[in-house]
Structure 1
Amino acid sequence: MSRVALVTGGSRGIGAAISKALKGAGYTVAASYAGNDEAAAKFTEETGIKTYKWDVGNYEASKAGLAQVESDLGPIDVVVANAGITRDAPFHRMTPEQWHDVVNTNLTGVFNTVHPIYPGMRERGFGRVIVISSINGQKGQFGQVNYSATKAGDLGFVKALAQEGAAKGITANAICPGYIATDMVMAVPEKVRNSIIAQIPTGRLGEPEEIARCVVFLASDDAAFLNGSTITANGGQFFV
C-alpha cells in the first residue's frame, strides 16, 4: 500500500505541482483547498487527485477534514503545509484584520494541519512534515510584515518539531521558495516582474515543479537524516 500524502492549498500553483509530483512518485495524494470550488473540481478531473475543502485557519474544520481524508485514503504519512495567503500593506497602514488573517492561515494553519495527525505518526513510528515557507520569511519584505513574520515563524516551528519527532521517526523540514512562475506572479506587470528577475542570479523565475521535486525528496526514505533543515530554492537571490 502506498503512503498517503496531504498537501494543503494543493489544487493550485505550487501546491498543485507538489500534489502531482507526489502522485507521480507513487503516493496516494489528497489536496485541500479553501474556496475555489471550480479550480478544485477541474484539478481532480485532470489529475484524479481527491480534493477536500476546509479552512486551515480553523482547528475544528482542519481536524474534521483531516479525519475525512484518513477515513477515505488511510493514515496520513506525509503532510505538506503549503496553504498561504497575502494581505500586503505598509505596516503603518496594516489593519488588525490583515494581520490576523495572514497569521491564522500561514502560521496557525500549520499547527492546525499537523497537530491532529501528529499522534498517529508517533504511534506508527513514521512521518514527514514539510512546511512551505518563503524567501521573505528569511530576509523580510517591504509591505509584508505580516507575511514575513508568519513565514519566519514556520521555520521556528520546523526546527522545534524536528527535535521532538526525531526519536519517533518523524522529520520536519521547510522549503523557502524564491519567486516562482505561478499565476499570481505572472499576473504582476511585466516591468515589475523584470525588476524581480534582475535580482535573481540565475536570471529567471523558478518553476513550481522545481519546488515540488524538493518536496518529493524530503518525503522520501532517502531524506531520513535530513531534519530541522531549510531548503532555500531561490536561484541564488538570497543566502542564509
Structure 2
Amino acid sequence: MDDLTGQHALVTGGGTGIGLAIAQMLQAQGAEVTITGRRADVLEAAGDQFHPVAMDVNDETATRSAIARSRMDRGPISICVANAGIAEGGPFDTVTLADWRRMMSINLDGAFVTMQACLATLPHDHWGRYIAISSIAGLRGLRGAVPYTVSKHGLIGLVRGLSEEYMRRPVTFNAICPGYVETDIVTRQVPLIAKRDGISEDAARAILAGGNRHKSLLHVEEIAATARYLVGFGSNSVNGQTLTIAGGQL
C-alpha cells in the first residue's frame, strides 16, 4: 500500500528520534498519526500534524486506556510502531533485579501491551502492519548491556510469535534492528563513555560509531525508510522478519 490515506498509525516514543522520523514518514504518506510518549510538551513540540497522546508504556492501565481512546477518535490502528524504550547499561555484576525488571517492563512488556491493545482495535479482515524497533542487540550480545540485550532479543521473539499466530490475517509483524543511530540516546552516552574511559568526547563518539560496520552513526531517516518499505506495496510476504541496519554484516 503506497497511499496510507485513511489508515490510523500509532507510534510509541513518537516525539523524538527514530519514533518522530517514522511518524513524519507515515504522515507524509497520508496516515492519521497518533504519537505517544511520557511528556506532553515534547509531543506537542513535534508538530500539529500529529495527534499527541501522553502515555507511559510502563503503565499498563494508562496504555490500554490511551489506545482505546485513540481508536474511538481515529478508528482502528492498522499501523503500530512499538518504538518506546530505554537504553541503559553497566557491568552485569552491578545490575540489580530492580534494574532488570525496569528494562523488561519498558522495552518488552511495553511493546507487548501496546501491540495487544492495538490489535484489539483491528477487525479480523483489516489490513495491518505492526513493527517493533529492536536493535543489533536483539541479534547479538552487547558487553555491558545484558538486560538491554535480553529485552531486544525478546522483541524479536514477540514479532516472530505474532507472525505465526496471525498468519491467516492480512497483518504482518516485523522488527527493525538498527545499529548506533544519531539520537539523543547516543548524545547522552558520549560524555558518560568519555568519563568512564578517560578519553575525549570525540573519541567516545568514535567508539559508538565503530559499533556500526561502516564506522559511521546511522541517521533516523534510514530507519524511517525501512519502516516505509514494511508498510508499503510489495511487503505483504515480509512477516516475522528482522531487518538489520548496521552498515554491513554483523
| Deviation of the 1:122 alpha carbon | 4.8
CA contact (8 A) 1:122 1:170 kept: no
TM-score (norm 1): 0.92
Q: How far, CA to CA, are the matches of 1:161 and 1:103 in structure 2?
A: 19
1:44 aligns with 2:56: no
Could you tell which deviates more after superposition, 114-123 or 164-173?
A: 114-123
Q: List aligned pairs for 1:24-35, cutoff 5 A.
A: 24-34=28-38
Q: Counterpart of 1:42 in structure 2: which amino acid?
A: A
1:198 aligns with 2:210: yes
Instruction: Write the deviation string for residues 131-178 of structure 1: whole angstroms up to 9, x where unpaired.
Output: 000011211112211111000000011111101112011110000000
Instruction: Write the deviation string for residues 48-95 of structure 1: whole angstroms up to 9, x where unpaired.
Output: 211111111222211101011112211110000000012322111011
CA contact (8 A) 1:122 1:168 kept: no
1:227 aligns with 2:239: yes
- List runs of 5+ in structure 1 lacking aligned partners: none
Q: How far, CA to CA, are the matches of 1:84 and 1:131 in structure 2?
A: 11
Q: Counterpart of 2:134 in structure 1: which amino acid?
A: S
Identity in percent: 34
Residue from 17, 21, 28 that aligns with 1:17: 21
RMSD: 1.5
Q: Report how many aligned residue pairs link the two structures.
A: 235
TM-score (norm 2): 0.89
Q: List aligned pairs for 1:25-104, cutoff 5 A.
A: 25-34=29-38, 36-45=39-48, 48-104=49-105
Q: Counterpart of 2:227 in structure 1: which amino acid?
A: V
Q: How far, CA to CA, are the matches of 1:159 and 1:209 in structure 2?
A: 25
Structure in which a larger fraction of residues adopt helix: 1
| Deviation of the 1:199 alpha carbon | 4.6
CA contact (8 A) 2:177 2:244 kept: yes
Q: How far, CA to CA, are the matches of 2:243 and 2:123 in structure 1?
A: 24
Show the counterpart of 2:9. Answer: 5
SS of equivalent to 2:121: helix
SS of equivalent to 2:104: helix
Q: How far, CA to CA, are the matches of 1:77 and 1:200 in structure 2?
A: 32
Q: How far, CA to CA, are the matches of 2:93 and 2:215 in structure 1?
A: 33
Show the counterpart of 2:121. Answer: 120
Q: List aligned pairs for 1:116-195, cutoff 5 A.
A: 116-187=117-188, 188=190, 189-195=201-207
CA contact (8 A) 2:71 2:121 kept: no
Q: How far, CA to CA, are the matches of 2:42 and 2:126 in structure 1?
A: 35
| Deviation of the 1:195 alpha carbon | 2.2
Q: 1:71 to 1:120 in 2, by over 3 A?
A: closer
- List runs of 5+ in structure 2 lacking aligned partners: 191-200
Q: How far, CA to CA, are the matches of 2:63 and 2:177 in structure 1?
A: 24
| Deviation of the 1:196 alpha carbon | 2.8
